[in-house]
Amino acid sequence: MKKLLLLTALVACLGAALRGQEKDDPDSRATYHLSFADSLETAGAFQGAALVYKMVAELYPGTMAYADAVRNLAHLYVNPFNSARNDSIALSWFVKHLEIPWLPRGERTRSVIMASLVRERMQFSTVEGRRSSVVDSLRTLARIQSAELNAQSKKIVELSSELEQTDNDLQILLEFQKNPTVARKDTTIPSSTAQKLADANESTTQAKRKTDRTEQSNDQLQKLREIDLRALQRRAKR
């Protein structure tokens, strides 16, 4: 609302000034508007001041006030208190100021210095933006890698726990295989280990039975061979 009232008052003042200065020469009108823009800038009305400076630059290019308007526009857009500050726009107005052929040497030198400073700041801002982008990318990558490392660490801990449990089960299984009739009272056998133990005992029992049957068969075969040998010996004596 304040900006709207300010612009309305600005337009009214400009209209009155133009009507009052119709018979004056262009330099006088340009100087009047330039003074009005300076007062707006001093009051902190930067948008209104920029509007009047641009009007002077467009309507009075052949006057002495033209150079001041262009220079003041460039300074306005590098003013740290101006919310619409823009280095790119400021640099373009400094370039326009340097394009004036009749510009005094001192003014030209100051504009060259200001344009160089603004250009360097723009380059620095570009580099800083890229650096910030790289830093953000590295932070994102670090978070991803940290999450992956945490997941891998958790998996390693789980595998270590499983390996330790398996090793304990194996030790218990070996103890019971060595002496299946004796169980340590302070040993609690997990269900998985108990099943492994039962399977191992069953396999051992079956293997023992098979061995016994094989030995019995070998004994019977040996007896048959002895009988056949005695029979052959009796026949040979006859």
Please report, as a single letter, which amino acid is at residue 61: P
Domain residue spans of the chain:
2-103, 191-238
Under DSSP, is residue 108 helix (H, G, I), strand (E, B) or coil? Answer: helix
pLDDT tens for 4-60 read 345 535 544 555 555 455 446 888 899 999 999 999 999 999 999 999 999 999 999
Statement: residue 1 has pLDDT above 50: no
Under DSSP, is residue 178 helix (H, G, I), strand (E, B) or coil? Answer: helix
The answer to whether the beta carbons of residues 97 and 70 sit under 8 Å apart is yes
Look up the CATH architecture of domain 2-103. Answer: Alpha Horseshoe (1.25)
| DSSP per-residue string spanning 23-72 | TS-HHHHHHHHHHHHHHHHHTT-HHHHHHHHHHHHHH-TTSHHHHHHHHH
> Nearest to residue 34, comparing CAs of 3, 9, 63?
63
Residue 198 confidence (pLDDT): 66
Neighbours of 100 (CB within 10 A): 16
pLDDT tens for 76-106 read 999 999 999 999 999 999 999 999 998 889 9
> Nearest to residue 46, comparing CAs of 13, 16, 80?
80
Q: Give the predicted TM-score (pTM) of the model.
A: 0.51
